[in-house]
Chain A
């Protein structure tokens, strides 16, 4: 990460401390976003049923995607590209809950019953549940 940061700084025309701080912040934000995407994936694999898996996927939708976009905005500075990225971020905030609700609602109307009550999934399960 440090090497890639430094190489971006050197390859970019905006050398110096501002460039370094900008690139480092952007790298840090993108890596945090990727971490949330990764955690969302693990959650989808670990959680026991359809509805709980939706929550894990929601983590990828919100903080994961938004942090990556913020990182890209920092990377591009104040340009037209960053304005477009902001629009993408705003549209994601509108569309991803709509899609999630559509999926959840169709599962509910198709009579898929959620598993309720306490669950402990510390044990390693074999195969699919």
Chain B
């Protein structure tokens, strides 16, 4: 029930932002579509924390701020490698251990790796991620561990130990 209310609120906000019309007819269509989507989600039995992850919104926003700073730093590193006339790159493949078996934590982690320029997650498995890094100093497992624990914390999930 809590999930259904939350999902309806988020979808209502999305509808209002995208439409911008406050006419009775259009709003009625909105209410009908939201009810339909909530009903279908309920029928698919996927109305849970994973489909409706909006309770962690503050943590997620904090994480995205941190991630954005990391993205800026990584961008500057890649930019240096691109524009300097004598640049030297050292592509590296490295296996990063996966310390969570929950789908959303794995997705957040793999997505964050790919989003940061200079590192791309090439192969995601149950127990590790294969990462291609542009520079050798970008493939330090400690940095990945920090990103892993922060991205899992953004969805309120703890990590397993080594």
The verdict on A21 contacting chain B, using a C-beta distance below 8 Å, is: no
A residues within 8 A CB of B78?
Answer: 43, 55-56, 58-59
Judging by beta carbons under 8 Å apart, are B91 and A63 in contact? no
Interface residue from A59, A98, A119 paired with B117 (Cβ < 8 Å): A59
CA distance A109 to B125 in the complex (A): 13
CA distance A96 to B71 in the complex (A): 13
The verdict on A11 contacting chain B, using a C-beta distance below 8 Å, is: no
Judging by beta carbons under 8 Å apart, are B75 and A114 in contact? no
B residues within 8 A CB of A49?
Answer: 91
Say whether chain A's binding surface is mostly helix, strand, loop, or mixed.
Answer: helix
The verdict on A54 contacting chain B, using a C-beta distance below 8 Å, is: yes
CB of A78 to closest CB in B, whole Å:
13
CA distance A120 to B135 in the complex (A): 12
Interfacial residues of chain A within 59-88, with CB under 8 A of chain B in the complex:
59, 61-63, 66, 80, 83-84, 87
CB of A66 to closest CB in B, whole Å:
8
Judging by beta carbons under 8 Å apart, are A63 and B71 in contact? yes
Judging by beta carbons under 8 Å apart, are A118 and B132 in contact? no
**A117-129 Cβ-contact flags toward B at 8 Å (1 or 0):** 1111110000000
CA distance A30 to B97 in the complex (A): 38
CA distance A59 to B74 in the complex (A): 9
B residues within 8 A CB of A61?
Answer: 117
**A-B residue pairs, 7 tightest by C-beta:** A97-B114, A43-B82, A58-B117, A55-B134, A97-B115, A63-B75, A97-B111
